[in-house]
Amino acid sequence: MFARRSCFAAAVAKGEFVGARATGVRAPGQNEKVAIGDSLHLGCDAKAFAATLATNGLMETLCRSTRRSDQLVPRAM
């Protein structure tokens, strides 16, 4: 028997929020369902994936801009 896991998803199309859904249970063996407002821990894979998506968005902005990258990205303190 497989443990049922929870899954959260959100959709954005053409820069507009479309919707979000959550399914699954809070812990294996429990019946309490997850909800959109629940806090969750991002595992190592999810953190890397999120960083990749953020970087892709930044690169798109940099490539479309007529300004230099140092004008678009704030300096680290």
DSSP string, 13-70: ETTEEEEEEEESBSSTT--PBP-TT------HHHHHHHHHHHHHHHHHHHHH-SS-HH
Show me where the domains of the chain are located: 1-40, 41-77
* pLDDT on residue 30: 84
Using pLDDT thresholds of 50, 70 and 90, give the confidence band for residue 69: low
| Rounded Cα gap, residues 26 and 51, in angstroms | 25
* pLDDT on residue 77: 46
Q: Is pTM beyond 0.85 here?
A: no
* Residue, of 50 and 2, whose pLDDT is higher: 50
Q: Dihedral of the CA atoms 31, 36, 40, 44 (nearest 10)?
A: 110
Given a cut of 60, whether residue 73 has pLDDT beyond it is yes
Using pLDDT thresholds of 50, 70 and 90, give the confidence band for residue 13: confident
